[in-house]
Amino acid sequence: MKKIAVSGSTGSIGTQTLSIVREQKDIRVTALAAGRNIRLLEEQIREFRPLLACVYEEDAARDLRERTADLNVRIVCGMEGLTEVAVQPESEIFVTALVGMVGIRPTVAAIKAGKAIALANKETLVTAGHLIMPLAKECGVPILPVDSEHSAIFQCLQGAGENAVQKILLTASGGPFRGKKRADLEQIRVEDALKHPNWSMGRKITVDSSTLVNKGLEVMEAKWLFDVLPEQIQVVVHPQSIIHSAVEFADGAVIAQLGTPDMRLPIQYALYYPVRRSLSGERLNLCGLKNLTFEEPDLETFKGLSLAYEAIGRGGNLPTVFNAANERAVALFLEQKIRYPEITEIIQSCMESADYIGAPTIDEILATERAVYEQIAEKW
């Protein structure tokens, strides 16, 4: 019986993780954490009966305690509560699926507590990869990627032994605006940006996919996960989302991972690694595929990806600036307070004016985030 703690349990990754728990029936959920959706969190508590649950806001936690007073569950809140979920003695695996840099400190705590990390929180490695990966190595803790692309790369590397990676081929669907030019983006509405052609994801990540900012964040994450240079990571637009990513080796051989666009597969692989368990759902029919196409990303139209390469190339706290600026800009766009092209304009402006720190501590990373938020609030 595997025992897991899930942060971000009411989000897209969290709910799909719990769907695997339902199907496999040999995973015990010992702790849950969520942001503010206490209605769904209460339903999850009643179904999975964790010993511990965290909701970030204190008022929401108070409400949840009243709602679950008939159950044997302890309700905690805030960063202290998230950290308690991360280090809970009863769990073996910490599924970190919260969106944002709020996931950094709990992940660090879980690593120090010896938990295996099923990582779906991009920001942890994007902003603090230089701290997280050495710490995980020191503590002997595996970082198991949950993102479909990084899971694909991880799967391609099984059996590679000491053979070094020559190049990572990171695939992207291209999003709903593939083929459009810069001028076309002026008319993009919120509802247009939320129509991803292949994947079902949360609102913020869906917008990030449409701008290719999400792919930029994945480039940063891949650098740390697989110990490669940014120039060894090539983004390839693959509209069908059948090849989830690939690895090229020194002899020119390319190994790719294929499958239907179902996030449950990489989640389950992380939970049961190295074992592959049966999973319900559609199977890939190679004979039914009409074509698989590939193209280079349009870096002029989708500046988010080129800005990401710039951020990871310079390093330091610039990936934090990139991530924080995007996070706030997407929120403004979803609130219909800025135009779609302004998302990347805000990122670029914040990067150009940032106070550079070469090797930031966690406190400096979080201070950089606050500074970006303040700058955006003042200007936009």
Say whether 166 sits in a helix, a strand or coil.
Answer: strand
The secondary structure of 174-214 as a DSSP string is: --TTTT--GGGGGG--HHHHT--SS----HHHHHHHHHTHH
End-to-end CA distance of the chain: give it in Å, rounded: 50
Are 171 and 305 within one domain? yes
User: Could you give the angle at the alpha carbon of 246 between the alpha carbons of 249 and 330, nearest 5°?
Assistant: 130
Are 206 and 232 within one domain? yes
Chain center to CA of 232: 21
Q: What is the length of the chain?
A: 380
The pTM of this model reads 0.93
**Final residue before a domain boundary, out of 259, 288, 314:** 314
User: Which of these, 122, 134, 133, 126, lies nearest to 321 by C-alpha position?
Assistant: 126
**Final residue before a domain boundary, out of 110, 145, 180:** 145
Instruction: Identify the bridge partners of residue 167 per DSSP, sorted by sequence position.
Output: 248
Are 196 and 294 within one domain? yes
Residue 360 lies in a domain: no
Are 162 and 141 within one domain? no
The answer to whether 224 and 125 are in contact (CB under 8 A) is yes
Residuewise pLDDT in 10s, the chain (380 residues):
999 999 999 999 999 999 999 999 999 999 999 988 999 999 999 999 999 999 999 999 999 999 999 999 999 999 999 999 999 999 999 999 998 889 999 999 999 999 999 999 989 999 999 999 999 999 999 999 999 999 999 999 998 999 989 999 999 998 888 988 988 888 888 888 887 665 556 688 889 989 999 999 999 999 999 999 999 999 999 999 999 999 999 999 999 999 998 999 999 999 999 999 999 999 999 999 989 999 999 999 999 999 999 999 999 999 999 999 999 999 999 999 999 999 999 999 999 999 999 999 999 999 999 999 999 999 98
The set of long-range contacts for 148-151, using a CB threshold of 8 Å and a minimum separation of 24, is 148/199, 148/244, 148/245, 148/261, 148/263, 148/265, 148/266, 149/218, 149/222, 149/244, 149/245, 150/218, 150/221, 150/222, 150/225, 150/245, 150/266, 151/244, 151/257, 151/265, 151/266, 151/269, 151/270
Are 249 and 120 within one domain? no
**Domain, as residue range, for 233:** 151-314
Q: Which helix (H) or strand (E) holds 235?
A: strand 233-237
Residue 321 lies in a domain: no
**Final residue before a domain boundary, out of 297, 314, 331:** 314
pLDDT at 205 (0 to 100): 80
Beta-strand pair 27-34/2-7 = parallel
pLDDT at 191 (0 to 100): 86
